[in-house]
Structure 1
C-alpha cells in the first residue's frame, strides 16, 4: 500500500532530522494502511458508479489479457533477428538513411514469399512487413510458418509484424513498397515486389507515388491493433468492476485477533537503540551509535487507535462510545476483520455509524503495537503507549 501526506501529519513531517525518522519509522505502517484504505474505499464508494474504470482496476484479468496481447504484439513487432531468427543486424532508416519497406502477406503465395526472402537476405536497408497473423491463427503458429519458409536462407532478412506501419502508410493491398527517409515517403509503388527493380528506380532518381505497376492482392492477415481494440471494446467494464469488488473481499486476508476475555492494560515501550550515528543534513550528529532514545520524549504520539472486529456488533458499539484520554488526539479506527459477503456496503454503514473513515489493520501495525486481543485502544500515557484491552459485556452500553 502507498501512503500520502495527510494534513494532520504535517506536524510530524516538518521535523527534518533523524529523530523525526525514528518517529516516522514507528508510525509509517499505520499511516500507510490509513491512507491506502481511504483511497480505495472512498474512491469506490463515491466515484465508481457511472465513472471511467479506476486505476486500481488495472489488475483485472481482462485488462491483463489485453496487456499481454499488446506485449505479444510488441515482441513480435521487433525484427525476427531479435527473436533469434538469425543475425542481430537491424535495418537501416536511421540518421537520414532510406529504409525500403516491402509490405507483404501470405496471400502472395509461399513461392513468391520465399523468393522475396531470398532477395532481401543480407540487406540491412530492407524491411519486410507483415500486418499480423491470419484469422484465428496464433502468433506462435505464424512464427512457425515463417521459420519454415526461411529454412536455408542465411542471413535471415529483416522481418517485422507491424500493423502500425500498414496504417501509417495506408497500405490496403500487397505487394506495396514504401521508401521511407526522415519519416517521410520518398517513393511509393504498388504491385511490385522486386528489390532489384526498386534499386534501379532509386538510382534513376525516381521519387513520389509511382502508382500501381503490377498485380495486387488482398491482405490475408488481420490488423492486430484493430483486433485488440475490438476485444477491448467487447469487454463489459461495469461487470468487471463488480467482479473486481467482489474479488477484493473474497481474497482479502484479515489480521484476525481473538476476543478479549478480560479488561487488561499493557504498556508498550517505544525506546530504541540507534544502530549507528545519525546526523542532521548539515552534518551535525544528533544521535550517536548505541544511544537509547524514546521517540515520545521528542514528540507526542498524537493518535488514539481503536482496534476492533467489525463483524461483532458489540465491539463496534463499545468502540463507538469509548473516549480517549487525550481529547486532542486524532482517533483512528482499524478493523481486524470485515464481513466478506457485503464488504463495501458494510464498510459504508460502519463509517456512517462511526462518522469517520475505517481502515484495515495491517500485519506491521499489529506487530508494532503488540496487539493481542480486540477490542483494544492504543493511546499515549506519559512516555509510553498503553494498549487497553476491553472485555465486551453481555449487554454492552457506553462504558463508564
Structure 2
C-alpha cells in the first residue's frame, strides 16, 4: 500500500488542479464560513427531512445511470412525440422483464426503469444480471435503455409493476399497470384518454427498496446532537496540538518526493506502475501552487505571509502549525478573515510528503523536486528575508 505521506502528497497534487478558492482538499477549511456552518447546526435538526436523502439519491442515480448509459447507447431510430417509461422490478417473471427490454431496445423513446438494487447487492451484481439476461449474442442486437431512478417511481405514483407511463413534455399523460407493451397505452392517449387507466393484467410488489426511504430511515437513526458535538470536539483537538518547531536558520533545501511502489497499481486492466518501480509524482503531474507553513500565533510570521501572498504568482495554500486563544476554532476563523483566505491546520503526514521540518517554510516545485525555503523568525522581524529574493 502507498504510505499515508504519499497519499497526502497525491491529494495535494489533485488539489492543484482545483478552483482558486479551494485549498487542501484533504483538510477541512476552518475559515469563517466553516465556523458559521458548525455553529448553525442545531440539535433540533429534523432527521426526517428529505433534502439530504434526496441529494444522495440524485447523486447515486446520476452515477448509476451514467455507467449504464456507457453500455446502452440510444437507438438512432426516428423519435416519437411521446416518451415512454416501463417501470419494472426483479420480482416480475423474467419473461416479462425481457419483453420490456425488447421494447426499450427497439424504440428510441422508451426506457426501462428500476427503483433500485435488490437488498444485499451492488451495481456490479446488477450489471452481471443484465449481462446474463442479454445472453451470448447481445452484441448483435441494439441494447435496451435502462435506468435506476427512485424519484421517477414517486413522481409517477408507481406502486406496483409492471407499469407503463406515457409522458409528453416530461408530464405524465397516462399510465396503466399490469402490462409491458406500451402500444395500447399510446393508442389510448391518441384517443384522448388521460390519467390512470384500468389495470390491464397481474401486478407484482416492487422488490427493490426505495433509496430515498432507505436514507430517511438511516437519517432518523442519527443522533445529530452527538454528531455535532463530536465534529466540533474533533476539530478543536486537531487545532490545539502543537507540531513543528521554529526554523533556527534561514536556508533553502530540496526534497525528492519519489517513492517505491510496493504492489502493482492497476486501473481498467492497465498496469500504471509495477511493484518495485521508483515513481516521482512530479514527473506525471504538475504541482501548480505554493504552500506556506507558518506558526500563525507568531505576529512576525503572520505579517510575512501576507507579503508573500501578495507577491505569489500562483495559487497559495496557508497552513498553520499552532493556534491560539481559548477557542481555537474561533481564533482560527478570525485569522482566516484577516488573511482573506482559508487557513488549514498542520498534519504530520505532510512532513514526509514534502520534507517539511520547521516553520515558517515556503514550498514550491522546481523541476521534479520540491524547493523548501526556511526562514528564521528573527530574520523576518528585521525584514531582510524575502522568499522571492532567494530565487
TM-score (norm 1): 0.50
Question: What secondary structure, in the 3-state scheme, does the structure 1 residue paired with 2:113 have?
Answer: strand
Aligned to 1:164: 151
Alignment partners' CA distance in 1, 2:57 and 2:237: 24
Q: 1:130 aligns with which of 114, 127, 150?
A: 114
**Coordinate RMSD, CA, aligned:** 5.0
8 Å CA contact retained: 2:360, 2:375: no
Alignment partners' CA distance in 1, 2:192 and 2:36: 65
Matched, 1:198 2:165: no
What is the 5 A alignment of 1:79-228?
80=68, 82-85=69-72, 87-89=73-75, 97-151=81-135, 152=137, 154-202=141-189, 204-228=191-215
Alignment partners' CA distance in 1, 2:101 and 2:373: 70
Mark the CA change 1:129 to 1:378 in structure 2 (over 3 Å): closer, same or farther: same
Aligned to 1:51: 41
Aligned to 2:306: none
CA-CA distance at 1:68 after TM superposition: 8.0
Matched, 1:372 2:356: no
Question: What secondary structure, in the 3-state scheme, does the structure 2 residue paired with 1:160 have?
Answer: strand
Aligned to 1:74: 62
8 Å CA contact retained: 2:361, 2:374: no
Q: 2:231 aligns with which of 215, 234, 241?
A: 241
Alignment partners' CA distance in 1, 2:211 and 2:131: 20
1 or 2 for the larger relative contact order (CA 8 Å, sep ≥6)? 2
Question: What secondary structure, in the 3-state scheme, does the structure 1 residue paired with 2:381 have?
Answer: strand
Structure 2, unpaired ranges of 5+: 1-21, 44-52, 251-293, 301-317, 345-358, 365-369, 387-391
Mark the CA change 1:125 to 1:167 in structure 2 (over 3 Å): closer, same or farther: same
CA-CA distance at 1:66 after TM superposition: 11
CA-CA distance at 1:133 after TM superposition: 0.4
Aligned to 1:14: none
Alignment partners' CA distance in 2, 1:119 and 1:253: 66
Structure 1, unpaired ranges of 5+: 1-31, 54-64, 265-306, 311-315, 321-333, 380-384, 389-400
Matched, 1:257 2:246: yes
8 Å CA contact retained: 2:236, 2:329: no
Mark the CA change 1:52 to 1:344 in structure 2 (over 3 Å): closer, same or farther: farther
8 Å CA contact retained: 1:101, 1:179: yes
Q: Count matched residues.
A: 263
CA-CA distance at 1:77 after TM superposition: 2.8
Instruction: Specify the structure having the higher radius of gyration (Cα).
Output: 1
TM-score (norm 2): 0.51
CA-CA distance at 1:386 after TM superposition: 3.2
Aligned to 1:272: none
Alignment partners' CA distance in 1, 2:378 and 2:77: 68
Alignment partners' CA distance in 1, 2:170 and 2:330: 59
Alignment partners' CA distance in 2, 1:48 and 1:113: 48
CA-CA distance at 1:378 after TM superposition: 3.5
Mark the CA change 1:368 to 1:144 in structure 2 (over 3 Å): closer, same or farther: closer
CA-CA distance at 1:239 after TM superposition: 5.0
CA-CA distance at 1:89 after TM superposition: 3.1
CA-CA distance at 1:103 after TM superposition: 0.8
Alignment partners' CA distance in 2, 1:189 and 1:349: 59
Alignment partners' CA distance in 2, 1:258 and 1:206: 81
Aligned to 1:386: 384
